């Protein structure tokens, strides 16, 4: 996980690039986004928890 990153968009991008399990903050943000109906076609709900 990158050191000293405060922006959620950077954490999300890191999780998307490296895959689930490496960046817990990015994974959690993606899990919250995956629960939104607007992102149902983009993110798989159970993949990021």
Confidence of residue 1 (pLDDT cuts 50, 70, 90): low
pLDDT at 9: 92
The tokens of 32 are what?
Answer: 């919250």
Which positions ≥6 away from 44 have C-beta within 8 Å?
34
* pTM (global) more than 0.95: no
Give the whole-angstrom CA distance, residue 40 versus residue 5.
27
The answer, yes or no, to whether residue 25 has pLDDT greater than 70, is yes
6 vs 8, residue with greater confidence:
8
SS (H, E, C) the chain: CCCCCCCHHHHHHHHHHHCCCCCHHHHHHHHHHHCCHHHCCCCCHHHHC
Confidence of residue 47 (pLDDT cuts 50, 70, 90): confident
The answer, yes or no, to whether residue 38 has pLDDT greater than 70, is yes
């Amino acid at each position: 996980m990158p050191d000293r990153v405060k922006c959620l968009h950077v954490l999300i991008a890191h999780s998307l690039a490296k895959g689930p399990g490496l960046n817990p903050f990015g994974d959690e943000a993606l899990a919250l986004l995956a629960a939104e109906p607007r992102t149902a076609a983009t993110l798989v709900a159970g993949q990021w928890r």
